[in-house]
Amino acid sequence: MEKIIIEPVWFDSLGAKSSCTLVKTPDVKILIDPGIAAMQPSFPASDNKKRQWREEGRKAIKRASKEADIIIISHYHYDHYFPTDLSIYKDKLVLAKNPNEYINDSQRVRAISFYSAICEAYGKTNLESLMKTKGTGKKYPDPLADLPVARRKDFGDYNKRRTELFEKGAKWFDARVANWLKNARIPEFNFPSLKTVYPEGKEFKFGNTSLRFSKPLFHGLEFSRVGWVFYTIVEHETEKFIHSSDLDGPVIEDYAQQIIYENPQVLILDGPPTYMFGYLLNRINLNRAVENAVEIVHSIDAELIFYDHHLPREKKFRERTEKVWNVANEENKKLMTVAEFFGKEPVVLSCT
């Protein structure tokens, strides 16, 4: 692309959990998901190295934030936003995940803490005094209604178990809805040196640049207890970029179809968390994520696909997603980790 410039800031393949990306157009500069976290205990490196990579990433993110006009926070996991180092948000438009709905309990707690700090730092006030009255009976439809492909997919012997999981998930979802309706709502803010907006399902124009945002999507599987995220689309004239956030593959077929429909020239695609294979990731859902990624790589006309976040947290990530790399090679599609984009090897492969 010529008008939309993509600068990966820090990703998992560089040694710390992140998918922070700086996007530059002729109209605006956007920093997406400026957060970072140290690798999990199973990652094959010393604690000192993990801390070192996290600190290097944190500094890189802070440098990138100085260039940005807009900061996007797709959800409230620490590898996607800075919860306490609030200086990066100064004089920015912050487009952040709505903390009032389509959010799980732990991220709601994090959001309250984050916006309390924002109010004190930038509004010289306290959040509680600004929180609006609780919801007024809004209806939340069955989230499976938006997933016709995934809902109807036949998994053979696994169908019975999947039905049981959907039933439990529906009860969990209904309990979350009850919380959203009773909780006092965190408003958007317009302080002198910081403005926040909840962008899900909306479009924003900055000159000839368009920012579009998906509706809230499951972070991984249907009824994922981890919560919801949104993905970001940046367009300038005929050019298009997508940062998919945490779709875990995507593991849900309908989300893959959305990306295929958009057909970006550059795509940031997170992978399935293969380091959890056999624990929180079973073979069926790993296969789903792989097949969905294969379909994306095959179908879109991308100049470049970054396949990174979640993936390079264990040494067998390439082996476990081999079909994706193979189809990219067969069709001469540029599929790579961010480390490889910078001419390096993913650090997990060189760890002992």
**The domain that contains 9 carries what CATH number?**
3.60.15.10
- Cα(300)–Cα(172) distance, rounded to whole angstroms? 35
3-state DSSP call for residue 307?
A: strand
List the helix and strand counts (H, then E) for the chain: 11, 16
Structural domain count, the chain: 1
What's the pLDDT score for residue 135? 62
Q: Which domain holds residue 83?
A: 5-350
Q: How far apart are CA 287 and CA 298, in angstroms?
A: 16
Separation of alpha carbons 317 and 123, rounded Å = 45
CB-CB neighbours of 344 under 10 Å: 13
Helix, strand, or coil (residue 230):
coil
Q: Which residues partner with 306 through β-bridges?
A: 268, 336
Look at residue 137 in the predicted model and tell me its pLDDT. Answer: 79
Per-residue model confidence as pLDDT tens for the chain (352 residues) = 999 999 999 999 999 999 999 999 999 999 999 999 999 999 999 999 999 999 999 999 999 999 999 999 999 999 999 999 999 999 999 999 999 999 999 999 999 999 999 999 999 999 999 998 776 678 999 999 999 999 999 999 999 999 999 999 999 999 999 999 999 999 999 999 999 999 999 999 999 999 999 999 999 999 999 999 999 999 999 999 999 999 999 999 999 999 999 999 999 999 999 999 988 899 999 999 999 999 999 999 999 999 999 999 999 999 999 999 999 999 999 999 999 999 999 999 998 7
